[in-house]
Structure 1
Amino acid sequence: MSEKYEPSIVEDKFYKIWEDRGYFEIDGNKNIQEDGKNFSIMMPPPNVTGSLHIGHALTFTLQDIITRYKRMDGFKALWQPGTDHAGIATQNVVEKQLLAEGTTKEEIGREKFLQRAWKQKETSGGNIVHQMRKLGVTPAWKRERFTMDEGLQEAVKEAFVSLYNEGHITQNNYMVNWCTHDGALSDIEVEHEEVNGKFYHMIYKFADGSGELQVATTRPETYFGDTAIMVHPDDSRYTDIVGKEVLLPLTNRKIKVITDSYVDMEFGTGVVKVTPAHDQNDYEVGKRHDLEFIKVFDEKGILNEYCGEFAGLERLEARKPIVEKLQAEGYIVKIDEHVHQVGHCYRCKNIVEPFISQQWFLSSDMAQESIRKTKETTKERAASGEHNGTLFHPAHWINSYTAWMDELRPWCISRQLWWGHRIPVFTCDDCGHQWADKADEPEACPKCKSKKYTQDPDVLDTWFSSALWAMSPLGWGNNGKLEDLYNSTDEADFYPNSLLITGFDIMFFWVARMMMMGEHFKKELPFEDIYMHALVRDEHGAKMSKSKGNVIDPLDMVEEHSADIIRFTLAYLAVQGRDIKLGAKNLEQFRNFTNKLYNASNFLQLNVDTFPDLKDIEIKTPLGIYMQSRLSDAVDEVRATLDTFKFNEAASILYKFVWNEFCDWGIEYAKASKDSVVELGAIFKETLKMVSPFMPFISDFLYHKLSGTSLEEGESLMITNFPKEIAKNQEMENMFAIIEEAIVAIRRAKVIIDMGNSKIAKAYIKLDKTIDKDVAKPFIEKLSKCENIEFVDAKQENSITDVSDNLEVYLPTGEIDMTPIINKLTRQKEKLEKEIAKLSGMLSNERFVANAPANVIEENRAGLSSAGEKLVKVEAELKSLS
């Protein structure tokens, strides 16, 4: 018997050989055709802060499958790898490291902090790339990029300076989402969570002593920044107080009562306080009414002098003492429980504040052309059916994309961090002139020629550099830096990218921004197709999280099972538009599939040591012609599903062909046709080429095993041609369909006489179709365990009969003692008759029916129906035996 397959040894060994031979690189594919077919896909660059998680494993597996398929199909293929500097996340990791060492970033300074961040990048980035290799993915590693490498820094400056000079990037004092730890955030970096809070009902007294108003707030610590009280202009209850002044509790600062239609008259008392500097809606009201914008805490959330005795406290810590003082002074009427949405920083989970800050913004106008082209492309494809009739796969994601883009607001692109792309804006110390510059150190101020200037201290949002990812690794904007990582023709060859595969959860973080940047700078949408996969959940459908203890580590799964099993499982479960439920039973199912592949090769080599490739052999035997024809259908179907990114369907077709058709039938047929084994081996080797993109290790191993070679001696399957245009023979398929039908019919008939697994002497077959009986006979006899099959033209008496669509089979009962079988069926008949009588009696008893629970009545009716159906079958069997 052949050598044992040990995944852990084979996978590491084979991967090194593949990579050393340069198979992953653009020029490493000997199958590249001369018709200009190019394929490009960009790896969503994982952050250099963590390790491979199951979502990464799904993304990279699907990308690897399609890239391997395109390589084998003759495309000039580029799968661009890279990692992301992950501004906030990386800075948080390094800050925690420093705190553990008893210091802070401020104490060591910006330069030394950045050195630590680069060290973190080298360590973590190297780990995640190692983990990707363990999964068997094959991007062009020699071209690996990092979003802060020298060339991509040039691209970021190119994009920023161009957008700045075009007026799309401006600096404004504007209300932003503010994390007191991480600084400014864009809207989509805020995660809104439902929390149990409180409604504080406060009293504001009129300055003239004429009475008081009651208002409610969820954030009493911000009331020091109130600059108005507001009622609806149509609210007749408050007409006489509009324009009057009230006193701010504890401070006695005077603020006016104003009217604005924003107020909901039906909610609460219809009186609302206005805090323009600390509430998004109040900010707009403040601008409309020219109110004062009073900040009551600083960037770190520390309350200031406007808050009197509470100055110096952190905003959230200050809430309790402020409320206690208000209660003691009689300013709080009541406190209600209140469930509401609160924004949290997507990285550190800190509560986010609406905060007025001077930041850099990218205008939403810049995205309008990409929005228009996306809608236009989608309509054109829907009308023509091109690209499966859609830009997004599944197609429904276009609705989410356009809904969000139609409401697009200016993007806050500046971050108060040290780690990241430094904003390339400079301000002259002498004349105050501000300008954007691609140079790290401009020669002088363009206006007054002074050499004294200051660069903006902030960095760009991580997603700004990631938004250029569809084109920057191809050389766009790199200004000649790191030229050895890309070719001069890359932009022309690989932009637009052929396909983007990513999780739907970063559609707006990343996909939408690549769309706007790509269209703006290249005048073309960056992707021909966009595949959005769903989440990987646990086997019960719950989202994976460390707190739940249900996180699946893909590297653990590789060690326990194999990379092939993980890859095939994820592909098989990746139904477009559906979350994946991943559990042990799925992995077990596909572990069995790898065993099936291995056992099939072992069977083939029981009689023949080595096998030719399909292209090098003429298929002549009926079984060989039949299995080749079935392979032809599988090839066409797998191609069609991969071309439309239906990875689960492609995996399912492979699974069914290998397991059900080749192994369950083809190999069994071969036991009756030894002369076809060589042909089956060639067909199986061709099948392994189809399996290769999904399960590259075991397919390569078995291919060489069947060829009598080793990977060290020969080429890998991954650079052979993907199967195409296999010979089809419908006549032979029709004949083997009849053969299979006859075998199944005889097996059913044998069950009736309790001889399902026993050999019988004789069976007759009456056919409704014409087939080559000489070819069919040995297959039917072998697989039905019948010593002699005889084809007849008439019904046979004294026989067990089974009737199917195209034939009838008869098992003669003359030589079989039918007494035990008849006695057994008679006992079953009597038992069923007693059960039917009992249930019928109960259901005909009016008193029972009136008093019994509905579910009991229903169970009895179902039981009666089932017993009746069984009795009909038993009586039919008895009749056939008599």
Structure 2
Amino acid sequence: MAEFYDPKTIEEKFYKICEERGYFEIDGNKNIQEDNKTFCIMMPPPNVTGVLHIGHALTFTLQDIITRYKRMDGYKTLWQPGLDHAGIATQNVVEKQLLASGITKEQIGREEFLKKTWEWKEKSGGQIVYQMRRLGITPAWSRERFTMDEGLKNAVRKAFVSLYNKGLIIRGNYMVNWCTHDGALSDVEVEHKANKGKLYHLRYFLCENSSSNHSQIGGEADLGVAQNFASADRINNSSSEQNSNSAKDASKRPYIVVATTRPETYFGDTAVMVNPNDERYKDLIGKFVELPLLGRKIKIIADEHVDMSFGTGCVKVTPAHDTNDYEVGNRHNLEFITIFDEKGILNEHCGEFKGLERLEARDKIAGKLESKGFVEKIEDYENQVGYCYRCKNVVEPYISKQWFVKSEIADEAIKSVNEGGAKFYPSHWINSFNAWMRELKDWCISRQLWWGHRIPVFYCECGHEWADESEKPLKCPKCGGDKFTQDPDVLDTWFSSGLWPFSTLGWGNGNALKNEKWLESDLSEFYPNSMLITGFDILFFWVARMMFQSNNALGELPFKDIYLHALVKDKDGKKMSKSSGNIIDPLDMIDEYSADILRFTLTILCAQGRDVRMSDEQMVLSRNFTNKLYNATKFLRMNVDKFSDLDENAVHTELGKYILNRFKIAINETRKALDSYRFNDAADRVYKFLWDEFCDWGIELSKADKSAISELGSIFKESMKLLSPFMPFISEYLYHELSGTNLENSTSIMISKYPKASKIDEAIISKFELIIEAIISIRRAKATIDQGNAKISKAFIKLNSNLDIANYLNFIKLLAKCENVEITKDIIPNSARDVSENLESFIPLAGMDTTAIIARLNSQKSKLEKEIAKLENMLNNEKFVANAPESVLKTNQEGLATAKAKFEKVCSELESLENI
């Protein structure tokens, strides 16, 4: 063997061999498959525009571990891979490429644009697939799907038509989240971030017939109080000519004050609102105010929606551009005035500001209002603003005709989950699922894009509208004519990915399945999927939608178990971001360390419900583990050329039996952890067996019984199968090194049986645990007399049990470095002594030069005496005790108890030495 393990020469070669042999496919483990055992898991399809990030690396690592485990455990296994067409992201990429050449998509038209998008996808898309291979994951690559392949296009149309015909998909004018670049967005596609802006307090002057002496109305007495909104994203509409109100005129007229973070929106106000129970404003209900600059009159209305204790208790109402005001507008039958177009350009309702972009117009509008005396004050203000999750543009509430999936689609899925149809890991995620699903709003599924699944709804000139599963229907089903058009919008990307658990198995794929490697029988064999593993951050983007779409289409939830892992953060627990400069690139980690090391580090840190904190220090620890395994293999090979497969009946030495039984315990505990998705516990258990139990004890003990090395080698070789799902490459390499073979001419361990444990022999374990305890005890006793690394002539062991370890003293003598070890029933006087749980050990001191040891112990005794005196004085001081915090008193009390215990031990040791 080489001096060091070189993963760069192994990982790519081994991966290619295993993939070419078809090991990743559903029949790759056919030689070990057991009847009626199937396992299916879906890869969350990454965006075709994406690159591998550390969150992907964790998801794919955990999915690969469970898939490899099930494959080795005799399951017919499908890990379904694929890519998402990523409507907004992909269209943005191609649009930018065109713009770089001075071309817009509108100039080349829809068909040519889609052609160029497909060209980009085939040429540049899917870079992440190569990167996933670098990580060593094993999905059935031959079955890779794309959310816009022909089969999935058919499935999307079938699902849409079914929901449309059931009345669960409708179209109408609703208020939606609107990005002026990317169009309509669902709620979960809006990212809310803190924004440092301004709060503009605007004066709305009462019309002459609305005059009042009410003390809350501003004027010369300047009594108006600014209304401060919690909802800062208000938009207002209005139309009419600018009036002649001037600052001079304004100062003489009564007014009320409202506030907005977006002064450009007041043009859309169609009412001012107060609470009907607010005594301050009862006289004003039904009266009118004038909109600044425009002079358009709007009515003061009453609604219990208004919080009387907040600000002045007066709020402005902009029904067409604010989510809350939209509901108020419907209740009070207010006018809905839209003040800008789909691109955010102000329209004719905005007077002289028509043609300006909404955000660019803000300062100009505020300046004009201020110059005319309509601004009470302007304050710095921090609020939450919604941004498009793709282009980061500020999102507006906007009324638009869109397609929606009605919220009742989720009713059955919610019921099934809460009746135990699916289980969350960690379990607390069901609370988040319920909270979100039970407040579910109608889902906006139409997108104003060209790249994506075209909405399969057609409009005939005869007035008929219908949804059709055909990509190009021949005639109108009502009039038989061919004068019809298709809806121009495409579906939200999450609509198609919501079908992923079953559309990829052939559901609705139709003729596209002909001559393909996947069959219709996949649906009956692999649906529902066995489980899902993904990040908690897409619980509502993807997981919830799969659940209600799958349940609606097939009447059954798509998976039984849902494992949601936490975020991967940096070593200080901070979220990774480009701006923070703490992003960890998984490919850099693979290049520097190895795929095995990255996988193992992510796994052993991934405790359920806790964030993963990555660091170079953790990677180094995993690298040390691989070095330990490599050196263990070198030691075994130095003594035995090659090792046979493990045969329990062929293990005859006592040491071999002990290590075998420790291995059995590790198998059981690893399996138990994997079966309950405690991936970190599983990795930790394998680590402890290989490092602590096998290397630190098994190999060391074998130096006292070399006849056991051949048995230990067979056990270690079998343990590489236990490690294989976590570290597939080094485990494969070391397995073949121990077998005297290589992967090129033999079968991979990835399709061999995962270890199973037979009955455990507790007696042999108890004996060797006592042997190890004796070794540790003697070592501790030696350390007290500065003989830690020295070989001593004799030690005694006094056992507290009836176990007979007389035949095992050779292990103790070698590892405790004693020429002789004797079992005794008596306390040996004049000895260095150590007491442990099941035994005591003694090292006779006669004949030893103990001068230096006595001097050291006396020095310790003196320091402890001073420490004890100091602590006792403090604790006996009534003033100190009365004034000191309880935590300080507790610390001092514990310190005193520890010092006294050490003092007694030092005195005991001194007494033993001085009595020699």
TM alignment of 1:459-538, pairs within 5 A: 459-483=490-514, 484-538=516-570
**Distance in 2 between the 1:842 and 1:246 partners?**
75
Aligned to 1:387: none
The answer as to 2:749 corresponding to 1:717 is: yes
CA gap of 1:334–1:871, structure 2 versus 1, over 3 A, is: same
1:319 aligns with 2:351: no
- 2: distance between equivalents of 1:526 and 1:846? 69
CA contact (8 A) 1:31 1:721 kept: no
**Deviation of 1:856 (Å):** 9.8
Partner SS for 1:529? strand
AA paired with 1:413? I
Q: Specify whether residues 460 and 828 from structure 1 end up closer, same or farther in structure 2 by C-alpha distance, changes over 3 A only.
A: same
Deviations 1:759-781 (A, max 9, x none): 11111222233344343111111
How many angstroms apart in 2 are the aligned matches of 1:842 and 1:473? 74
Q: SS of 1:195's equivalent? A: strand
Of 370, 373, 376 in structure 2, the residue corresponding to residue 333 of structure 1 is 376
Cα distance, 1:90 vs structure 2: 1.1
TM-score by length of 1: 0.95
2:191 aligned residue: 191
Give how far 1:843 is off: 7.3
Q: Distance in 1 between matches of 2:594 and 2:101?
A: 39
State the match for 2:177 in structure 1: 177
Aligned to 1:381: none
Instruction: Give the alignment of 1:244-643 within 5 angstroms.
Output: 244-377=287-420, 391-428=423-460, 430-483=461-514, 484-615=516-647, 618-643=650-675
Deviation at 1:118, TM superposition (A): 1.9
- The number of residues matched between the two structures is 870
Answer yes or no: is the 8 Å Cα contact 2:806–2:823 preserved in 1. no
Counterpart in 1 of 2:764?
732
Cα distance in 2 for partners of 1:2, 1:682 equals: 21
Q: Relative to 1, partners in 2 of residues 1:269 and 1:808: Cα closer, same or farther, differing over 3 Å?
A: closer
Shift of 1:865: 5.6
Within-5 A mapping of 1:701-850:
701-834=733-866, 836-837=868-869
For structure 1, list consecutive stretches of 5 or more residues without a partner in the other structure.
Answer: 379-389
Separation in structure 1 between the aligned mates of residue 297 and residue 884 of structure 2, nearest angstrom: 75
Whether the 8 Å contact between 1:502 and 1:533 is mirrored in structure 2 is yes
CA contact (8 A) 2:49 2:126 kept: no
Deviations 1:150-198 (A, max 9, x none): 1100100010111111111111011100000110001111111222232
Q: What does 1:173-252 align with in structure 2 at a 5 Å threshold?
A: 173-208=173-208, 210=211, 211-252=254-295
Deviation sequence 1:76-102 (CA, Å, 0-9, x none): 000000010111111112222222222
Deviations 1:211-270 (A, max 9, x none): 433222222111111111222222222222222232221111222222111112222222
Residues 168 and 144 of structure 1, relative CA distance in 2, 3 Å threshold: same
Quick check: 2:655–2:701 contact (8 Å CA) kept in 1? yes
Deviation string 1:477-505 (CA, Å, 9 cap, x unpaired) is 10130441412310001000001000000
- Quick check: 1:628–1:726 contact (8 Å CA) kept in 2? no
The equivalent of 2:161 in structure 1 is 161
For residue 798 of structure 1, report the CA deviation from its aligned partner: 2.8
Cα deviation code 1:740-772 (max 9, x no counterpart): 111111111111211101111111222233344
SS at match of 1:457: coil
* Alpha carbons of structure 1 residues 768 and 181: separation in structure 2 relative to 1, 3 Å: same
SS at match of 1:765: strand
Q: Partner letter of residue 809 of structure 1?
A: S
- The answer on whether the counterparts of 1:31 and 1:71 sit within 8 Å (CA) in structure 2 is no
CA distance in 2, matches of 1:411, 1:836: 71
1:146 aligned to 2:154? no
Shift of the 433–851 alpha-carbon distance from structure 1 to 2, 3 Å rule, reads closer
Task: Look up the match of 2:110.
Answer: 110
Listed one character per residue, the Cα deviations across residues 36-89 of structure 1 (whole Å, up to 9, x for unaligned) are 110000000000112000000000000000000000000000000001011111
1:762, 1:811 within 8 Å by CA — same for their partners in 2?
yes
SS at match of 1:783: helix
Once the two structures are TM-superposed, the CA of residue 571 in structure 1 deviates from its matched residue by 0.7
Counterpart CA distance in 2 for 1:67 and 1:860 is 54
Range that drifts further, 845-854 or 437-446: 845-854
Cα separation, partners in 2 of 1:257 and 1:619, compared to 1, 3 Å: same
- Determine helix, strand or coil for the equivalent of 2:197: strand
Q: Which residue of 2 aligns with 1:679?
A: 711
Cα-to-partner distance string for 1:557-578 (whole Å, 9 max, x where unaligned): 0000000000011110110011
In 1: Cα distance, 2:327 partner to 2:15 partner? 59
1:30 and 2:30 matched: yes
Q: CA deviation at 1:208?
A: 2.7
User: Taking structure 1 as reference, are residues 755 and 233 closer, same or farther at Cα in structure 2, changes over 3 Å only?
Assistant: same
How far apart are 1:805 and its partner, in Å?
2.3
In 1, Cα distance between the equivalents of 2:65 and 2:890? Answer: 51
Structure 1 residue 839 displacement after superposition: 6.3
Q: CA deviation at 1:469?
A: 0.3
Q: Is the 8 A contact 2:658 2:765 kept in 1?
A: yes
Q: State how far apart, in whole Å, the 2-side matches of 1:827 and 1:45 are.
A: 67
Q: Where does residue 70 of structure 1 map in the other structure?
A: 70
Counterparts in 2 of 1:857 and 1:692: CA distance versus 1, 3 Å? closer
**Is the contact between residue 326 and residue 332 of structure 1 (CA under 8 Å) also seen in structure 2?**
yes
Offset of residue 450 of structure 1: 1.6
Amino acid corresponding to residue 321 of structure 1 in structure 2: K
Q: Which moves more between the two structures, 466-475 or 817-826?
A: 817-826
1:649 Cα deviation after fit: 0.4
Comparing 796-805 and 630-639, the one that deviates more: 796-805
Q: Would the aligned equivalents of 1:31 and 1:73 in 2 still touch at CA under 8 Å?
A: no
- Render the CA deviation track for 1:652-700: whole Å, top value 9, x for unaligned: 1111111111111111110001000010001101111000000000000
Give the C-alpha shift of residue 12 in structure 1: 0.4
The CA deviation string for residues 328-367 of structure 1, in whole angstroms up to 9 with x for no partner, is: 1111112233322211111111111010000000111121
Amino acid at match of 1:613: D
1:5 matched residue in structure 2: 5
CA RMSD of aligned residues (A): 2.1
Give the 3-state SS of the residue equivalent to 1:338 in structure 2.
Answer: strand
Q: What amino acid is aligned across from residue 662 of structure 2 in structure 1? A: R
> Which residue matches 1:51?
51
Going from structure 1 to structure 2, the CA distance change for 1:799 and 1:855 (only over 3 Å counts) comes to: closer
Distance 2:603 2:122 in 1: 31
Query: Shift of residue 867 of structure 1?
Result: 4.3
Question: CA–CA distance in 2 between the matches of 1:46 and 1:860?
Answer: 57
Deviation at 1:821, TM superposition (A): 1.8
Q: Distance in 2 between matches of 1:563 and 1:544?
A: 21
